Chains A and B, each alone.
Chain A
Amino acid sequence: SAVISQKPSRDICQRGTSLTIQCQVDSQVTMMFWYRQQPGQSLTLIATANQGSEATYESGFVIDKFPISRPNLTFSTLTVSNMSPEDSSIYLCSAGVGDGEGEAFFGQGTRLTVV
């Protein structure tokens, strides 16, 4: 398994500002992902965080709005840029063990409120 820690656990931000969320895994993993969970909703994949190269974004998500870094095999950041109230969500980091052939584990999430 993998233990995933996210910081911050929650934040209240002013519209127009940016927030960077950190994700730390307790072991080296090949696959890391970022998901969004809007209030009372399911999880939607934002992007795959690729180590040493640009992230791969899903339809509806763009790099200018959600820049992602992955400097090594245990750490990633997601930035939510130029925030609006519609960005209020829980942002979740996920890591896959076993080089993509094992289970995926999640952090506790970052609860973001934009006012």
Chain B
Amino acid sequence: GENVEQHPSTLSVQEGDSAVIKCTYSDSASNYFPWYKQELGKGPQLIIDIRSNVGEKKDQRIAVTLNKTAKHFSLHITETQPEDSAVYFCAANRGFSGGYNKLIFGAGTRLAVHP
């Protein structure tokens, strides 16, 4: 069935360094790839997304890249801050049903940013 793999499962960086999280997906019909940040005790918060018609999208310190041929997309956070510490989930939509909203999630990456 459809699957999204996410690596690494944990990531520890120093404040000011960059963090990169990588995901691969299996459903060739997927065309929407959101990233969510989940802080302890809260629901997932959408931080950035990318659609299949673009290869890269940037929003301040956060960027996402997409390689449709390789079925691979990545989250890049630059100049990390302690408040970036959270669990990050990548996701891909189920291409043939549910539009952009029916999502398959990766396993999550626990990011720790140390002052």
Complex CA gap A4/B103 in Å reads 17
User: A interface, how many residues as a size bin?
Assistant: 20 to 34
Q: Are A106 and B34 interface neighbours, CB within 8 A?
A: no
In the bound complex, residues from chain B placing their C-beta under 8 Å from that of A43 are 44, 89, 103, 105
* A104 cross-chain contacts in B, Cβ below 8 A: 34, 46, 100-101, 103
Does the CB pair B42–A45 fall under 8 Å?
no
Number of interface residues of B (CB under 8 A): 22
A-B contact count (CB 8 A): 64
| Minimal Cβ-Cβ distance residue in B for A6 | B43
Are A100's CB and B43's CB within 8 A? Answer: no
**With A42-B89, A42-B105, A42-B106 in contact, do A101 and B43 touch (Cβ < 8 Å)?**
no
Say yes or no: A92-B100 contact (C-beta < 8 A), given A42-B89, A43-B105: no
Looking at the complex, which one of B46, B89, B98, B108 makes contact with A48 (CB distance below 8 Å)? B98
- Interface bits B74-115 vs A (CB < 8 Å: 1, else 0): 000000000000000100000000111111111110000000
B42 → A minimal CB distance (Å)? 6
Residues of A within 8 A of B46 (CB): 103-105
Residues on B with C-beta less than 8 A from A101 are 99-100
Is A109 in contact with B43, judged by CB distance below 8 angstroms? yes
- Write the nearest CB–CB distance from A48 to chain B, whole angstroms: 7
- Check A45 against B102 for contact (C-beta < 8 Å): yes
A interface list, Cβ under 8 A from B: 4, 31, 33, 41-45, 48, 59, 92, 94-96, 98-109, 111
Give the A-binding residues of B (Cβ under 8 A): 1, 34, 36, 41-46, 49, 89, 98-108
